[in-house]
């Protein structure tokens, strides 16, 4: 919406006089707004966007082109996109009524052809975009994407900004080695906790790892990052129930670190539990990994085992994504 002012000048008998100044407002026939349903994102999230176009004119507007730049920015002498349109996700509403989906290009930038915005009416486009490996994931990261709307004569635009979901994102995996055990053999259980989030999982998160061993183990010993743990201080274990649990706050996992690179990172595997992957991204993400080890001498079952060890270990390591 723009405002304008003017006044008139009257000339007579060699002199002039001015009128009062009047002010008016010029309403655009077409207005656009853009909204993200959720304002925060993390790696691989899908974000739903809503573009609303209102036609306040007395005539319909036809053959509109809506172009969403998907947050594009220049990097390493090229253009990269932190968002990717999810194919076939677009929905098209005219005055609130769902219509046949319009044509949308699958490749960035996203281009949607809108056949008609009725006079004194509105349309709404709803679609999903997935967070790509080019999205900033560190704390205080954000993506701003802009939608431009044009019919060849007029052009309007709207932008929306979403921010990183600053939190710890933990996963846990468990491995057994060897899978087949003979008497007086050794069992090694490895639990790997990874933090792919941009915030440390601190003592305040009160992380607790629990497991119930069946058959029940006896005479267990535990190490964390190579340091011996003490029963009752860092963990508890019931030799009659087989229930093992770390005490709240004893496990902490640093935040993942994100580094922008020229060619994309490799994925080294911590403790051979993770597999390498090819270079694909412009951001490398260093996962923080902890491993907890626990071993036991013998457990109760139908077959007698001696000096059997149950072993879990959390050591800090890194993984690049």
Model's pTM, two decimal places? Answer: 0.68
- Could you give the CA distance from residue 18 to residue 262 in angstroms, rounded to a whole number? 65
The per-residue pLDDT of the chain, averaged, comes to 80
Encoded tokens for 67: 């172009």
Mean pLDDT, range 178-183, rounded to an integer: 74
Encoded tokens for 307: 């000096």
- Could you give the CA distance from residue 79 to residue 161 in angstroms, rounded to a whole number? 19
Mind listing the pLDDT tens digit for each residue in 77-100?
A: 899 999 999 999 999 999 999 999
The domain defined by 29-164 folds into Immunoglobulin-like (2.60.40)
Neighbour tally for 229: CB within 10 Å: 21
Mind listing the pLDDT tens digit for each residue in 59-78?
A: 999 999 999 999 999 988 89
Encoded tokens for 321: 């994504």
Between 48-57, 112-121, 224-233, 274-283, the lowest mean confidence (pLDDT) is in: 274-283
Mind listing the pLDDT tens digit for each residue in 111-161?
A: 999 999 999 999 999 999 999 999 999 888 999 999 999 988 889 999 999
β-strand pairing of 83-85 with 121-131: antiparallel
Mean pLDDT, range 232-247, rounded to an integer: 93
Nearest to 177 by CA among 165, 185, 167, 168: 185
Structural domain spans, the chain = 29-164, 170-320
């Amino acid at each position: 919406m723009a405002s304008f002012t003017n006044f008139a000048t009257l000339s007579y008998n060699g002199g002039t006089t001015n009128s009062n100044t009047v002010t008016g407002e010029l309403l655009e026939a077409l207005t656009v707004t853009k909204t993200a349903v959720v304002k925060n994102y993390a790696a691989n999230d899908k974000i739903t966007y809503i573009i609303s176009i209102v036609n306040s004119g007395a005539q319909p507007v036809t053959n509109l082109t809506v172009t969403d730049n998907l947050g594009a920015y220049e990097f390493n002498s090229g253009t990269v996109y932190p968002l990717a349109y999810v194919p076939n996700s677009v929905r098209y509403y005219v005055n609130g009524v769902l219509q046949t989906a319009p044509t949308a290009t699958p490749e960035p930038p996203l281009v949607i052809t809108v056949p008609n915005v009725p006079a004194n009416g509105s349309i709404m486009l709803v679609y999903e975009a997935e967070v790509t490996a080019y999205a900033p994931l560190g704390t205080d990261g954000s993506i701003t994407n802009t939608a431009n709307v044009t019919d060849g004569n007029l052009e309007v635009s709207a932008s929306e900004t979403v921010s990183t979901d600053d939190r710890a994102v933990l996963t846990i995996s468990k491995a057994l080695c060897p899978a087949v055990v003979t008497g007086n053999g050794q069992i090694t259980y490895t639990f790997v906790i990874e933090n792919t989030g941009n915030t440390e999982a601190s003592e305040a998160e009160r992380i607790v790892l629990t497991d119930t061993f069946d058959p029940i183990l006896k005479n267990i010993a535990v190490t964390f990052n190579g340091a011996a743990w003490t029963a009752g201080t860092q963990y508890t274990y019931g030799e009659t129930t087989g229930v093992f649990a770390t005490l709240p706050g004893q496990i902490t996992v640093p935040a993942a670190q994100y580094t922008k690179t020229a060619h994309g990172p490799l994925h080294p595997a911590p403790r051979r539990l993770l597999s390498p992957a090819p270079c694909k991204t412009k951001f490398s993400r260093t996962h923080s990994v902890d491993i907890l080890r626990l071993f036991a001498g013998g457990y109760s079952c139908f077959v007698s085992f001696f000096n059997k060890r149950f072993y879990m270990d959390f050591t800090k390591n890194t993984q690049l994504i």
